[in-house]
Structure 1
Amino acid sequence: MKREVLAEEYLDQEQTIIAEIGALAQQYDDIINLSLGDPDYPTNSQVTEAAFQDAQEGYTRYTAAVGDPELRREIIKYNQKEFGYEVDLSQVMVTVGACHGMFLALESILDEGDEVIVPAPYFTPYLEQIRLAGGKPVILETTEDEGFQINAESLQALVTDKTKAVIINTPNNPTGVCFSEEVLTDLEEVVIEEDLIIFADEVYGALSFKHDFVPLATRDRLQDRTITVASFSKDYAMTGWRVGYVIAPDFVIDSMQRVNEGICYAAPSISQRAALHALRLHKEIQPLMVDEYKKRVNYAYQRIKTISNMSVLPPEATFYLFVNIKDTGLSSAEVSKKMLEEARVLAIPGTAFGECGEGYIRIACTVDKDKLKSAFDRLAEMKIFNQ
């Protein structure tokens, strides 16, 4: 078979920065990997054992296309108890992780050429997901000077007659920032005035350290225009189970179900059972894990403050730090490559998250404190960070 059989769109794709750095990392066997948001925690043993027991008892067949009704009812119960947020069963769909849910929602909503405003720095897959769904991503850059918060006036200035939606990711990957109450109130006004839809990526909801997390859809005026995308991956250390969910108006869920019939029909039944048990045990599972991540990012923050040519905003949420390395005089890619080659520490260049990520690297505190100490000890010895 010849390479030319590939679709033109994929025939001459350039290697991404993440792929390039990842390929270089394969050359070394003493890497400390601070690149990917894949928690080092195993899934809670009670969750795993209960899911395996369910498998033994026959929960190994297809579930309903929108998900196991028992899990969907538990999602409703969780949102009602934690946030006072009333949801109907017809408004919940279980998905194969949050990325799958986001794509199904975008595919269901977007017509060819519809614009979606994406605040940057952003979670890398958004742009391609929007394009695959026929839409056009429109970038709204945020800055460290403004705490990587969304500026409502700048948002409104990007709205055209083709704008259909905005993606709001808070707590945010890669910056670790939570959008403030003032910012969300201003955002609400723009969304209502311009008649926009919100895609609320709330994958890191449990990992908010500074303020209690509150879903966007709990705001009365936003509930009917918000599509909430959530996941069990980070909040429950269940990345490999590939299970998440979407809460949206029932007609959006109906459309997502139809789209998904041509993709994978339903999320894995065993993963859905694990998610069910995780939700029921969330008060037992989450506090210790969240506290540990808080300790890690605070430790990393304190170490960064002692290293020349590095700076970072105080941690607010997630296990990420978006580190400013502009004073090195080098690009994000150059710094990431030097960190790998000289210190055997792997981090992601900020430009992987948009052009305004130039001058930054993202560090994921998904290793234990001893490994973090070793990583920062190594970095502190590098010439670019030792001036």
Structure 2
Amino acid sequence: MDKRYIAKRYQGREKSQLAASADQAAEMDDLINFTIGDPDVITDERIIEGAFNDAKRGYTRYTESVGMKELREEISKYFHEEYNHKVGLDEVMVTTSACQGMWLVLESLLDEGDEVIIPSPYFPPYSDQVKLAGGVPVYMTLKEEEDYQLDVGKLERLITERTKALIINTPNNPIGSCLSRDTLVRIGEVAKKHDILIIADDIYTIYSYQAPFVPTMTLPGLSERTITLGSFSKDYAMTGWRIGYIIAKPDFIQVMKAVNENNVYSAPSISQRAAIHALRLRSEIQPGLVEEFRKRTFYAYERLNRLKGVHVMEPKGTFYLFPNIRGTGLSSAQVAEKLLKEAHVAVVPGNAFGPGGEGYLRLAVTLGVDRMKEAFDRMEGMDIFK
């Protein structure tokens, strides 16, 4: 098709570094792949069986556009039981993944030229989704030497009359860091002072290794100011089900409902049924997931720190590691290329994650310890790490 028929906002857009890394990885038979944050754990059989039986019982039609009442009730119950926080049914909207939920939030929130502050390194879709909604991403670099905590003084200096929101993601992809409760409280104070919203991308809530996870919206005075994105993908090993949710005030839920009715209308009914079963079984399912990914993450942490020219902070959350490779004297892209060509190990260069990512790599430990051992053994044999 002639380029002139393509929307200008999509012309010249390059393939994301995440997608490019995955494509390269697919070309090697003996490749060990650390690029994709997709757990290799199959969804718990009880969830699958429950959803399968529900499909046979007739749950194969459209649901309410905001999601099944039964699922919204379970989400509300979850926040009450886990965090003693009240969430009304009119404050919950079920979405086709949290990624689609983020698009929906930004599409409903931003006017042309509105600014959204994004701490960097960040999950790459954030920036593109802000732009596609007509907004302007404003990047704030987080620093390793500051434990990747958000400096509220720097945050405040970035706020302008066009600033609409701040996106936070803790536990964090790609860094594997966690914002402390104190940092979250101080972020909230700045948000209230300047009347901006906080968009909390709460995707890895169970993978908080050093301190219990605290949803931003549960902190004093932040319920009115926080839009929360939740997901079943990582906390329940349900990536392929594409199911998530948004928690926001009722008037904003109604706006997103209207927007979404022109997009996908409602999340898949069978995935919603699976989410209901997942929430009800969480106390049986999640401990095993946390134990497995904690084991993997700390194994990779120990092996990475044995490589010359590499160091990585002790994992605080998620199943990602973000090792500093500046000691090799090479760029993140150069190290990633060498790993791929010489060791047949695929990682994502840090520059894929925005400002502050150069000099780092991201590894997703979504493969078992035996497979990782082989990968790190190969890496230790490379000249750049000797």
TM-score (norm 2): 0.98
The 8 Å contact of residues 164 and 196 in structure 2, kept in 1 or not, is answered as yes
Mean alpha-carbon deviation: is it higher for 19-28 or for 294-303? 19-28
Partner of 1:274: 274
Cα shift readout 1:85-128 (whole Å, capped 9, x = no counterpart): 10110000000000111111111111111111000010110011
Supply the distance in 2 between the matched residues of 1:379 and 1:33 (Cα, whole angstroms): 13
- How far the C-alpha of 1:18 sits from its partner, in A, is 2.9
Partner of 1:228: 228
Partner of 2:243: 243
Q: Does 1:105 align with 2:121?
A: no
Partner of 1:150: 150
Partner of 1:255: 255
Partner of 2:345: 345
- How far the C-alpha of 1:45 sits from its partner, in A, is 0.1
- SS in structure 1 of the partner of residue 111 of structure 2: coil
Code of the residue aligned with 1:27 in structure 2: it is E
Code of the residue aligned with 1:24 in structure 2: it is Q
- How far the C-alpha of 1:220 sits from its partner, in A, is 2.5
- SS in structure 2 of the partner of residue 10 of structure 1: coil
Q: In angstroms, what is the RMSD of aligned CA positions?
A: 1.0
Partner of 1:77: 77
Partner of 1:133: 133
- SS in structure 2 of the partner of residue 295 of structure 1: helix
Partner of 1:39: 39
- SS in structure 1 of the partner of residue 224 of structure 2: helix
Supply the distance in 2 between the matched residues of 1:262 and 1:295 (Cα, whole angstroms): 43
Q: Does 1:326 align with 2:326?
A: yes
- How far the C-alpha of 1:249 sits from its partner, in A, is 0.3
Supply the distance in 2 between the matched residues of 1:14 and 1:102 (Cα, whole angstroms): 21
Cα shift readout 1:322-342 (whole Å, capped 9, x = no counterpart): 010001111111111111111
Cα shift readout 1:233-278 (whole Å, capped 9, x = no counterpart): 0000000000000000001110010000111000000000000000
Supply the distance in 1 between the matched residues of 2:69 and 2:23 (Cα, whole angstroms): 42
The 8 Å contact of residues 22 and 35 in structure 2, kept in 1 or not, is answered as no
- SS in structure 1 of the partner of residue 356 of structure 2: helix
- How far the C-alpha of 1:38 sits from its partner, in A, is 0.1
- SS in structure 1 of the partner of residue 252 of structure 2: helix
Supply the distance in 2 between the matched residues of 1:15 and 1:52 (Cα, whole angstroms): 36
Cα shift readout 1:29-81 (whole Å, capped 9, x = no counterpart): 11111111100000000000000000000000000000010000000000000
The 8 Å contact of residues 217 and 223 in structure 2, kept in 1 or not, is answered as yes
Mean alpha-carbon deviation: is it higher for 138-147 or for 1-10? 1-10
Code of the residue aligned with 1:359 in structure 2: it is G
The 8 Å contact of residues 117 and 140 in structure 1, kept in 2 or not, is answered as yes
Q: How does 1:149-298 map to 2 (within 5 A)?
A: 149-298=149-298
Cα shift readout 1:334-353 (whole Å, capped 9, x = no counterpart): 11111111111111111111
The total of aligned residue pairs comes to: 386
Supply the distance in 2 between the matched residues of 1:105 and 1:11 (Cα, whole angstroms): 24
- How far the C-alpha of 1:213 sits from its partner, in A, is 0.5
Cα shift readout 1:130-149 (whole Å, capped 9, x = no counterpart): 11111111001111110111
Q: Does 1:357 align with 2:363?
A: no
- SS in structure 2 of the partner of residue 237 of structure 1: coil
- SS in structure 2 of the partner of residue 42 of structure 1: coil
Mean alpha-carbon deviation: is it higher for 179-188 or for 82-91? 179-188
Supply the distance in 1 between the matched residues of 2:359 and 2:256 (Cα, whole angstroms): 38
- SS in structure 2 of the partner of residue 236 of structure 1: coil
The 8 Å contact of residues 21 and 337 in structure 1, kept in 2 or not, is answered as no
Q: Can you give the 5+ residue segments of structure 1 that lack an aligned partner in the other structure?
A: none
Partner of 1:60: 60
The alpha-carbon distance between structure 1 residues 9 and 313, as it changes in their structure 2 partners (threshold 3 A), is same
Mean alpha-carbon deviation: is it higher for 327-336 or for 74-83? 327-336
Supply the distance in 1 between the matched residues of 2:355 and 2:79 (Cα, whole angstroms): 36
Supply the distance in 1 between the matched residues of 2:115 and 2:289 (Cα, whole angstroms): 38
Partner of 1:10: 10
Supply the distance in 2 between the matched residues of 1:46 and 1:20 (Cα, whole angstroms): 35
Supply the distance in 2 between the matched residues of 1:251 and 1:220 (Cα, whole angstroms): 21
Supply the distance in 2 between the matched residues of 1:72 and 1:16 (Cα, whole angstroms): 34
Supply the distance in 1 between the matched residues of 2:19 and 2:289 (Cα, whole angstroms): 29
- SS in structure 2 of the partner of residue 199 of structure 1: strand
The 8 Å contact of residues 168 and 199 in structure 1, kept in 2 or not, is answered as yes
Supply the distance in 2 between the matched residues of 1:123 and 1:18 (Cα, whole angstroms): 10
The 8 Å contact of residues 98 and 245 in structure 2, kept in 1 or not, is answered as yes
Q: How does 1:117-128 map to 2 (within 5 A)?
A: 117-128=117-128
The 8 Å contact of residues 98 and 244 in structure 1, kept in 2 or not, is answered as yes
The 8 Å contact of residues 17 and 333 in structure 1, kept in 2 or not, is answered as no
Q: Can you give the 5+ residue segments of structure 2 that lack an aligned partner in the other structure?
A: none
Supply the distance in 2 between the matched residues of 1:284 and 1:19 (Cα, whole angstroms): 34
The 8 Å contact of residues 336 and 348 in structure 1, kept in 2 or not, is answered as yes
Code of the residue aligned with 2:149 in structure 1: it is Q
Cα shift readout 1:265-299 (whole Å, capped 9, x = no counterpart): 00000000000000000000000110110011111
- How far the C-alpha of 1:355 sits from its partner, in A, is 2.3
Q: Does 1:316 align with 2:316?
A: yes
Q: How does 1:81-96 map to 2 (within 5 A)?
A: 81-96=81-96
TM-score (norm 1): 0.98
